[in-house]
Chains A and B, each alone.
Chain A
């Protein structure tokens, strides 16, 4: 009888363990790269639609100058270490109202390229929005890579 109960308990523990555990992650798969949001908003001096990759200080300074050209006084240039990081900037261009927004959904590193998935949101037709020109943008910093960068745009409901 004791043996029966011991076996029963062992079976029960075995079942508990298998129910709670799950397989470890596949070593052939990897996580998406991390990034930091350097700047994001809806007011920019850059009024054109642009998707940019910035890899040096001169280009960054030039872009920041244009981006801050609608501000008095302009904000100071955020320092970036281009020896290890690069910048990805997305400007949505001038929009007729508020309610437009651009965000980075994620970065996906593949063997051939770095894909930047961009999510764009527009206000509903009957939404109450600010009646002002806006220039939504997002600038992020991520680890430098030699892979080509591809931009993919999605609308928020996709």
Chain B
């Protein structure tokens, strides 16, 4: 997900800290998020970094297929630590 027209709403600091911890510990997260059309997506990603750009914050990560994912933090409706499975 990239930037959209809706004004960014800063997220709770605790949640921000949880993302930072997940990044530091390489903990995969199952993240549910809504795109600009309201469609809900769920992906498991390896969180890599948090980014601030133009007053908006983003979670950067890598998904199942190895693709880069960039999610605006206020679009994430839930994130829970999950596990990885053998290839």
Interface residues of A (CB under 8 A from B): 20, 22-26, 28-37, 40, 104, 106, 108-111, 140, 143
Nearest chain B CB to A89's CB is how many angstroms away?
15
Q: Say if the beta carbon of B59 comes within 8 Å of chain A.
A: no
Number of B residues contacting the other chain (C-beta, 8 Å)?
Answer: 22
Cα–Cα, bound, A37→B44 (Å): 14
* Inter-chain contact total with CB atoms closer than 8 Å: 71
Given the complex, which residues of A lie within 8 Å of B43, measured CB to CB?
A: 34-35
Given the complex, which residues of B lie within 8 Å of A22, measured CB to CB?
A: 24-26
Interface residues of B (CB under 8 A from A): 24-26, 28, 30, 39-46, 62-65, 82, 84-87
Cα–Cα, bound, A157→B24 (Å): 30
- Say yes or no: A35 contacts B42, CB within 8 Å: yes
Question: What are 27 of the A-B contact pairs (CB < 8 Å)?
Answer: A25-B26, A25-B28, A25-B46, A25-B84, A28-B87, A29-B85, A31-B28, A31-B62, A31-B63, A31-B64, A32-B28, A32-B64, A32-B82, A34-B42, A34-B44, A34-B63, A36-B39, A36-B40, A36-B41, A37-B42, A40-B40, A104-B42, A106-B82, A108-B85, A111-B86, A111-B87, A143-B65
